[in-house]
Structure 1
Amino acid sequence: AYAERVMTPRGTAAVTGLELMTALHPPTRAEKDPVTGAFTRALNEDALTAVHDVVECEVPDEHPLLKGRFARHHLRTPAEMLMEEPYDWCRPLTDDECMRQYLVAIDVNMSFAAAANGLTVGLNGPTHLTGDPPFDPSLPGSWLVDLSHVDLSRVRVDGRPVDGGRLPSPFTPKGERPTGPAWYATPTVAYAVELGFEVAPVEAYVRTRTGRYLDAWYKRLRDAYVTTMADLGVTTGLGGAEFLDAMARSRQSDPVMALLVGAIKATAKGGIGKLRQRNRGQVPYHEPWPALERETWRPDIRAAVLANQRIGLHRKLMKTAAAADLYPVAVGTDAVVYPSPGPTPLDVLPRTPEGKPVPGTFRLGVSPGMVKHQGTRTVLWAEEQFEEQGGVFNIANHIKTDPAAGEGE
């Protein structure tokens, strides 16, 4: 079933995810010479066709480009390294939130694959822009810019203000407000502009040949995921209570198909990770490792997907806060924890007077980008955890009580 719905496995799920990108957008094609009639090798414009120069701020610490660049054990700062990663954020509960009995965790389906859909990425090598270049959202790449002036409390969403102190910053994985210039991928800087703030980049590395390279890859994995979930009794037509009931039953309906769902999700997540495969002791530190010889070793594309995932999540957090005065207490990658008067997402996610999800907020459903119930705990449980650990820590991925959530997700 995996071979039919995704592709014939090429090793691990992550390796297969990367190979699927190449299979859908091969770097070359056969082209017939109109004069001689012979077939020659031609490059495909919509593919990754060469190994290009890399950018210092985009590569991991062990890359040969950084050999001798920094002192031993130096920790690169956001002004020296592109730190586009998923959220790992938590905050203390307010007194009012402690009065609610439950903490409900929701989880975004295939969030990295969904973030890749429709995303414009660079297909060629970097062009270095200096001298305070104007920001151009159509150019994928990395921008050195100061976003410390962005104050969420000054933003109005659908005409309503939000409490910026109870939301993570959209610009850092830890949710802390930036303190100065830092490197960001294009989607992150574009979000600052969307929020209504001026941006003034100092320099940038951009790609001038662009395309929606991951669209076909996303659609292939989306169809595989939705088809397999339907085999488990969870279809796209379900919403609300019907969807939650179907998800709760799905783990017991067909264990083999449940394993296949996990494999498809690992293919999506792992394929994105392989775009910046690290040197895990394969070769000596600061020496080239095999992954660097691939056309698909593209840390800038991985950064763009992760930035888009985090920004898309933040946009929904803002919409939810404005619509229902509802704020998360923890976000871990693609899991969001809300204080709730009841034990299910139906008790907390905002709805219109007609009973439909408020546009732009989290929506229960099986499709990638929609959310499912990850689990529920009590507020008392959270306070006990904080006391036991001696302080607030991220509880988002510790809330997995829904039998449909699974321990490995």
Structure 2
Amino acid sequence: MKLISQHFEKDSSGSITLVAEDKEDLFTLYNLIQKKDEIELKTLRNIKKSTTKDGSKGSKSKNEKKLLKLKIDIEEIDFTPQDEVMRIRGKTIDSLEDVPSGTYHTAEIDFQHPFTLYKDDWDQVSFDLISKSCSIDEKAEVGAIVLQEGIAHICLITENMTVLRQKVERSIPRKKRGDSSAHDKSLEKFYELVSSTISRDLNLQKLKAIIIASPGFTAQGLFDKFFHMATINSDKETLQTKPKFIVTHSSTGFLQGLDEVLKNEEIQKKLSTTKFAKDVILLDDFFKKLNDDDGKAWYGPKECEKAINMGAVKNLLLTDSLFRSDDINERKHYIELSEIVKNTGGDVTVFSSLHESGIQLDQITGIATILNYPVFDLDEDSDDEE
């Protein structure tokens, strides 16, 4: 996310001007922008123009698209990870010559144009989202190439989502009995094409790990070709990234193969320094303690709030969907719980509802805790105890 200007302090009103640079930024904005916020941006709007000079009643009119700068009171936000735009709908605030105030308009946030967001309260969650999204170091930590002969998917794995950067396809002829030369030659060309795409679309120096996964030996073949090309070209920077690469097996070269790989315990250990892997490991630890029934793992709003107020929480696990609630009081409630945990020495981890780990957490109310010591009967009401 590119920060143009900032005119607010935490826990106060104010505005910020930003430019989204990729899908990850759009996801951040989806979490940041709330109903009743205001946004100012350039947008296209259909304007009715009279075809006669005097514009008299009964004269013909036609629709004409015009680029305007509008300020909108937000009522709806629409975004799906496959889109490259986010749509904002609401009522216009200022009156213009062609657009009276209070009329509905749908605008799009894209990767090119700046916009200004106004909030009455830049709370801790909003403040953290801006701080992280405008820092290069907080972006993707893991790259991944999942492939099979003739098709490759090049991805970035961020803490919020898996982003497909490029899809590479090439027809590979089948091996003929006694003659595999056409197949082998075409496969080499495929490896070369995928290798050049990796160099162009992945910042290997910045990433902490790069996974190559495939059925059979295709992943190993790509790995060998990629570094063979780097050796021939005397590309020292690329050669230095060799220890970051992890070659592994998947049942398919399509994206579901990557989900399978990321659940592998051995891969999780190798990715243990990344934010995404830490989230997966933390959630696995929670479910293990829950199955052990040792009194250290609890989920549910009431149970977790009791544990937090006792100062017993080691880890608080939350999904980002709790911070997108239309109920401002509910959003503030979870922010306050997060602050209590931090102030009592605990850690707070926010899971993305677009990652498998976040989906699992959402299925058990979206809030869970791991405690410093066993506490039993948190699920019992005080009346029951009496």
Give the TM-score, by structure 2 length: 0.25
Give the TM-score, by structure 1 length: 0.24
| Greater share of residues in strand | 2
Q: Between the two structures, name the one with larger relative contact order (CA 8 Å, sep ≥ 6).
A: 1
For the pair shown, the structure with the greater C-alpha radius of gyration is 2
